[in-house]
Amino acid sequence: MKSNTPSRFKQLPRDSLLAQFLSRHDDSHNRGFITRIDRSPLAAKRLAFTKALALNVFILLFVAGFASVTIIRDVLSPLPAHFRLAICITQNLIIISSIIILVRSTTIPFFFGECRLRIFYGFQTSEIVIRKPPTMSLKLNNSNTTEDQRMEKYWRIATRAVNPELLYSNASAMLSSEYWTVEYRAVFDALSRIAAGEFQEEDLEFAIWKQDSKIWNACELWRMHEIMNDQQEVAMFKTFLTQSGKQELLTIWEEMLSCTSSSGEVIERSPSPKAYQVMVDKFAREGLDYEAVWCHVSEKTSLISA
């Protein structure tokens, strides 16, 4: 790695508006955040919302129907009153607990978060995604590992953590222990602050944010392309695009990471945020989520290596 490559880890000034925003929404355990800009096609966003709406309406109808049947059955039960009371209390406690867990984890955030977000802002070509990271140790200034090793570790964790297939409102994610929920309160606040000019949407590009001694550290995961040195993963990434008929996207990706000098030598370069955004937009227009493609390739490579 060349010494003139900018660090992929940065610190925010303590008094910066972005740091103040992050501090306002961080929890008492200083878990931090994973942020990302979703540039998937509008059609994909609308389809995902429609599926989630149907799922949550079904959940509400099912819960209402199940509760009604349970109440009617309890009232019409031929058992003696004292037996019926004991059974009802035990049974209903279990049922109510299950319903509360289901509604709190799925229906409430969808109707009071996602639906409210769509009512106020609609569907945008680029949308902010903010979530709490999964329970894990994230020390971004850990000196026991190299920067590239830490970068790769955080990238794998974060890419899995914001996998759209595991979003709480997807039917496929409901039984997964890795399902995740958007931090809607933080998203609404971020949109208001961006509109007020306090910081830019691009400041919340794909990254892990962690607070240490009241100083915010960021691992800029969108720079992961700079350290893709696993030849098997790179080969599988290229093969995936080629077999999918996306040769043009492969060319764009290669051009972003390298340029040719006057002598004809290929020089590796650090992609700018703008170059990254343009490339991700091009992938999105082709119906592909850039980071999700890498996540798929990485998982497939791990299975082959195992």
% of the chain surpassing 90 pLDDT: 34
Residue with more model confidence, 196 or 306:
196
On the question of pLDDT at 296 being above 50, the answer is: yes
What is the full DSSP assignment across the chain?
A: --TTSPPSEEE--TT-HHHHHHHHH--TT---EEEEEE---HHHHHHHHHHHHHHHHHHHHHHHHHHHHHHHHHHH--S-HHHHHHHHHHHHHHHHHHHHHHIIIIIHHIIIIIHHHHHHH---SSEEEEEPPPSS---TT-SSS-HHHHHHHHHHHHHHHT-GGGBTTSGGGTT-TT-B---HHHHHHHHHHHHTTSS-GGGGSSEEEEEETTEEEEEEGGGGGGG---HHHHHHHHHHHHHTT-HHHHHHHHHHHEEE-TTS-EEE-PPPHHHHHHHHHHHHHTT--HHHHHHHHHHHHHHHH-
pLDDT in tens, 161-207: 888 888 998 888 887 888 899 999 999 999 999 999 999 999 999 99
- Binned at pLDDT 50, 70 and 90, residue 160 comes out as confident
pTM: 0.78
pLDDT in tens, 234-281: 777 777 777 777 777 777 777 766 544 344 444 444 556 777 787 788
pLDDT in tens, 221-244: 887 765 555 566 677 777 777 777
